[in-house]
Amino acid sequence: MTSAPLTDAEFAELDGLLATLPEPLEPMEASSLDGYLVGVLLQPRPVPPARWLPFVHDVDGRPAPPGVPMERLHALVLRRHAELNGLIDQRQWFDPWIFELDEDASPSEAVMPWVAGFATAMALFPALMDLPDPATLEPLATLFAHLDPDDLEDADELLAEIETLEPPADMTEAVDGLVRSSLQLADVSRPKAPARAAKRPGARPRPGGGRPGPLRGSGKPRS
């Protein structure tokens, strides 16, 4: 059973709460948060919230200054975590939070923040990356292909696999690659879940709290 998805208003509220956290905190933005949550959920063993939640509101996991309320922010993040957990467990299609960029931006530039959040989870919780199963190589390469190769240190096998991939032709293909690769990784790291074909729902854009609106599912720009 999946958690109730965040409404448009709740998404905008979450985006705003992250953006207004005071210094010295350095929080994630919504798209990076979404990729981070997927990376956390794909670990072979569940990661308790006490370990991953602090990095949502600060890149170094620092606590919030005294007097800064975090309950509502964390509640919304945990809702999204629970929603994604249910969808990944059932191998259902999920809509990654991807922000629309200007028309000159490449598909990789648009999905890069999401992948950067995923990469953050891999750095903090490396159990998935350490799995010896060769079936993880292609989906990981599909995801990390959106990052600068210079950011992939000591990853010769992964870089070689990336070299074999064609870049996504458009936003739809780029976003589809995020979801498909995530579910392929779940088949390896969470094998007890039933392997079902992901059914892709119709996508609809959501408001982004004053930022460019995130595109859910298809990656197609809003009309």
Contacts of 2 (CB under 8 A, 6+ apart): 82, 83, 86, 87, 90, 92
Local mean pLDDT, 10-residue blocks, the chain (223 residues): 83 96 96 98 97 97 94 97 96 92 85 97 97 96 93 85 94 96 97 58 42 40 33
- Is the previous residue joined to 24 through a cis bond, with omega within 30 degrees of 0? yes
Q: What is the pTM of this model?
A: 0.86
Going through the chain in order, the beta strands assigned E by DSSP cover: 98-99, 214-215
Q: How far apart are CA 165 and CA 60, in angstroms?
A: 33
Give the H or E element holding residue 86.
Answer: helix 71-89
Model pLDDT, residue 154: 77
Q: Is the separation of the CB atoms in 7 and 203 below 8 Å?
A: no
Phi, psi (deg, nearest 5) at residue 183: -70, -35
Model pLDDT, residue 207: 39
| Class in CATH terms, 8-215 | mainly alpha
Model pLDDT, residue 100: 77
Model pLDDT, residue 216: 43
Model pLDDT, residue 99: 86
